[in-house]
Structures are given as C-alpha cells and as structure tokens.
Structure 1
Amino acid sequence: MQIITSHAEFEQFLGKELGVSSWHTISQEQINKFADATLDHQWIHVDEERAQNEGPFKATIAHGYLTLSLIPYLWKQIVDIQNLKMEINYGIESLRFAQPVIVNSNIRLKAKLSSIVNLRGVTKVHMGIEMEIEDQKKPAFTGEVVFLYHFITT
C-alpha cells in the first residue's frame, strides 16, 4: 500500500500505477442489500431461481452501480492518503461497463494516476481505474474517477 501525505508526494506517481486492491467477493447477500438500498429489485439481480433458468448468465449478477459503489472501499486498500482536512469524490468520467459481475465472483480495483493539479491548495487527481474480475479477460468496467484532496499544510 502506498502512503501519501502531500500534494508533492502524490505528484511523484503521475503516469504510474498506484497498485491493486485485494480481491472482494460479490455475494448474493450484498446484491440483495444493494437492491433494498436502491429500490432496484430487477429479477436478474435478486431472483436466483429465475436467473438460473431464464437469465443469460445462468446466475444473478451484481448491479453495475454496486460495483461502482465499491471504488472508495477498494481504493483505500491501494493508497492511504494521510494529513487531510477533507477528501471529496468529485466525479466519474469516461466510464464503460465491459461485462457483468456474476454472483460469487471476485473483483479488485487497479488504479493509475492520470493527472494531478493544484487548485489553490486543493489537490485534484484523475485516477484511471479498472475493476478486474478474477479469471476473466475483460474487466467489469474501466473509467476515470476524480478526487479532491485538501491536505493540511503547516
């Protein structure tokens, strides 16, 4: 895991891969809880029997937005950003879902620092991300996330 405590330290990673998170298993329980939280109970996510019998993947699949919602959790396994007043999830750009995540699949996040700029004391970073699915050639998604970091200055 990388530890970053300032804008200058972050800048050293420009154009470089920051790392890869550990694997996370997408369980049916997690899918069901996400469906409850978002009121999205489409059968392809929550009806295991119907998905097995009628679905194109012969099993339920995770909501695309569920996989996206795991970015902060997995990102914190890659980099420990310290010395902060505040951090903000600022945006997602150029996101493309490449393939579904079937229940009980293992996923992990890969991140690369695409750009970094100092906006009057606020560090704005663009991270190239890829959500890998274990034993699959195609990722679940690729894209770019934007974070704002307010480092404590002395």
Structure 2
Amino acid sequence: MNFNGRIAELPKEVKLLIGAFLIVLSAGYFTGFRFVNETTKNTPTGIQENYLGNEEDLEAEAMKFKKPKREMLTVIHTHILSMSVIFFILGGLVSLTQLKPWLKKALMVEPLLSVLLTFGGIYFMWSSWHFMRYIVMLSGILMSTSFVASVVIVFFQLFKKKDQKS
C-alpha cells in the first residue's frame, strides 16, 4: 500500500485534529526543551552537572547533587516510553507526506534512535562514562531537529491542496 502524499486526501476534520495535535505536541515539546535549558544551560558540562552534581565547584550558581538511582531510572523510563510514542505517532504522520524516500525514512527512524542515545547516554554518563555528555547533547540536537522538521513538513502538507504536488 502506498501512503506517499495521502495526508492531503484526509477529510478536513481529521486534518484539523492533526493540526491541533501538532500545535499542542509542539507546545509540550518546547516546554520540555525550555526546562532542559533551565537545568543544563544546553552545555555538555551543564548536562553532566544536572545528573552528577557540582558539589566540588565552589563558585557554582546553585549547588546540585548526584541524582539517586531511583530518580534516574524514573526519568529514563518515563522519557523513553513517552518519547517513543510521540515519535511513533509523528513518524506515522510523516509516512503520509510526500517526501523523498530517504528523507522520509530518516525522519521516521532517527528520532527513535536519538531517544535511545539521549536517555541511554544519560544513564551511562551517570554511571561514570562522562564522555557520554557529548553523545547526549548531539543526539538531543538531532532529535529536536527531526522533531521540528517533521512537524513543519506534516503541518504544511496537511493544508496543501489535494492537486498540488511537491
């Protein structure tokens, strides 16, 4: 079955539902993104300090302590589960767009891999593999880039006329 470009053929009420979903999903995603900025300053050192603490830094703005294992497992568990569902749904919507096959596959699979790398990397960093902070930052950037690209592509193709082709 060929799904390519089928998003334009959906009924108006389904398109409206998807458009509203994308707006609310983006609000939630970028609220989380803002939280990450507040807690890590979007730097590799900030990422490491957020999970491992900064007690030895006497000039730190705020003292942070290493997160306990239960908290780490809760953060990783909830983020992997919820973000896999988010990117599965978004990937399903991307599958209905009209894109080059390689780009479509990348936007459907990459964020799921980045979820594993980001949150697996956070766990390994917490477990003393400190170099993982760079992997966490890179995979987080890739995941966010895929999210924005997917939402923009789906949103614009959602409201494209049925007879228009890319």
Superposed pair shares fold, TM > 0.5: no
Bigger strand share: 1
User: TM-score if structure 2 supplies the norm length?
Assistant: 0.24
| Structure with greater proportional helix content | 2
Larger Rg: 2
Q: Given the two structures, how large is their TM-score scaled by the length of structure 1?
A: 0.25
